[in-house]
Structure 1
Amino acid sequence: MKETLHKYLPERAVIPVMGMVKAYQIQLKIVSQRQSKHGDYRLKPDGYHQITVNSNLNKYRFLVTTIHEVAHLLAFKTYGFSILPHGVEWKQTFQKLMLPFLNPEIFPNDLLPQLARHFKNPTASSDTDAHLSVALKQYDIPNEKNFIFEIPFGSVFQIPNGKKFKKGRRIRKRYECQEINSGKIYVFQPNAEVDLLK
């Protein structure tokens, strides 16, 4: 397990994460990319705690995602399964678990201010925090995709399921975009990654 985690985590995070895996009897599975989520937690019928994390994440997002899922485990264990999945109990648990990792021995200096801001009130996904998402993306393997906020008004783009949209106006933090085939309006986060069509 240690050898595997060295491939996916910042070096100084490996031993603390391994400690959590052992202490809470976690079955940690590294899985193929899923479009809808970076990771998940579930209590299995045999009583084991299973956490899955996508294999394509950069090491900093992999760490944040892993701790996010461990926070679900501990919040449910501490407060019961009637709490909201991303409610106040989970937020407080996530903040406590992340605090020891928020240092320059683990995260680059340019990420630390974004992480510190995010963890004042963590959201259900790091993707819904546009500033953090953009900061984390610079450590991804480069690809040809663009963020919605980067492309010009009126541009046509495609999302992973093949649907095509035309970028519209910004409403608060999000963008209204019209699906080309149906004419329906959908709202996109500014940091949604899309393929710009010529």
Structure 2
Amino acid sequence: MKDVLARYIPEHAVEPLFELIKIYGVHLKIVNERVTRHGDYHKDASGYHRITVNASLNKYRFLITLVHEIAHLAAFEKYGRNIKPHGDEWKITFQKLMVPMIRPDVFPNHLLPLLARHFRNPKASSDTDASLSLALKEFDEKSDKNYIFEVPYGAVFRIHNGKVFKKGAQRIKRFECREISTGKIYLFNPNAEVELLPS
């Protein structure tokens, strides 16, 4: 298992993560990319704690995602199954498991202040923290996708499921975009990745 972890996470995080996996009896499965989520946790009918994480994540996002999912397991074990999935109990648990790894031998120096700020009050997804998400994306493989905030007002773009939208105005943090086929308005996070279409 350590050899497998070493392929996906920073070197100095392998030992502490391996210990967490042993402590909580995690059955880790690394899967092909799912667009809608980076990872998930569930307890199956036979009582096994199963965590899946996308193989395509860069090593820093993979680490954060794996700890995020272990935090679900640990929070349910400590506080019971009736807690909110991303409520206070999970946040406290995620902080406790993640903060010891926010150090320069695990993460690049320029990510440390962003991580420290994010983990004061962690969100259900690191993608909702635009500055952290953008900083983490610099370690992804290069793609021909654009971020919504880079797309000009009025431009037409396509998302992962093939739906086509026209970019509208910014509403506080998110952008209003109109689906071309239905006319419905959807809100997009500024760091959502999209494919810009020729006008």
Do the structures match in fold with TM over 0.5? yes
CA apart distance, 1:47: 1.4
Looking at structure 2, the residues matched to 74 and 46 of structure 1 have their Cα atoms a distance apart, in angstroms, of 18
What's the Cα RMSD here? Answer: 0.6
Looking at structure 1, the residues matched to 109 and 197 of structure 2 have their Cα atoms a distance apart, in angstroms, of 35
Looking at structure 2, the residues matched to 79 and 26 of structure 1 have their Cα atoms a distance apart, in angstroms, of 18
CA apart distance, 1:46: 1.4
Looking at structure 2, the residues matched to 120 and 172 of structure 1 have their Cα atoms a distance apart, in angstroms, of 22
Looking at structure 1, the residues matched to 185 and 195 of structure 2 have their Cα atoms a distance apart, in angstroms, of 18
% same residue:
61
Relative to the length of structure 2, the TM-score reads 0.98
**Are 2:119 and 1:119 equivalent residues in the alignment?**
yes
**Are 2:141 and 1:128 equivalent residues in the alignment?**
no
Looking at structure 1, the residues matched to 163 and 182 of structure 2 have their Cα atoms a distance apart, in angstroms, of 10
- Structure-2 residue corresponding to 1:109: 109
- Structure-2 residue corresponding to 1:197: 197
- Count how many residue pairs are aligned between Structure 1 and Structure 2: 198
| Structure 2 unaligned blocks of 5 or more | none
Q: Deviations over 1:80-117 (max 9, x none)?
A: 01100000000000001001100000000111111111
Looking at structure 1, the residues matched to 64 and 16 of structure 2 have their Cα atoms a distance apart, in angstroms, of 13
Map 1:135-174 → 2, pairs under 5 A: 135-174=135-174
CA apart distance, 1:183: 1.1
**Matched position secondary structure for 1:110:** helix
Looking at structure 1, the residues matched to 81 and 190 of structure 2 have their Cα atoms a distance apart, in angstroms, of 33
Map 1:76-95 → 2, pairs under 5 A: 76-95=76-95
Looking at structure 1, the residues matched to 155 and 11 of structure 2 have their Cα atoms a distance apart, in angstroms, of 41
Runs of 4+ in 1 over 6 A off after TM superposition: none
CA apart distance, 1:185: 0.8
**Are 2:99 and 1:99 equivalent residues in the alignment?**
yes
**Are 2:70 and 1:70 equivalent residues in the alignment?**
yes
- Structure-2 residue corresponding to 1:34: 34
CA apart distance, 1:182: 1.2
**Matched position secondary structure for 2:109:** coil
CA apart distance, 1:23: 1.2
Q: Deviations over 1:124-176 (max 9, x none)?
A: 00111111110100000010111101111111100011111000000010000
**Matched position secondary structure for 1:111:** helix
Corresponding letter in the other structure for 2:51 = I
**Matched position secondary structure for 1:65:** helix
Q: Deviations over 1:36-64 (max 9, x none)?
A: 10000111111111110000000000000
Looking at structure 1, the residues matched to 158 and 51 of structure 2 have their Cα atoms a distance apart, in angstroms, of 31
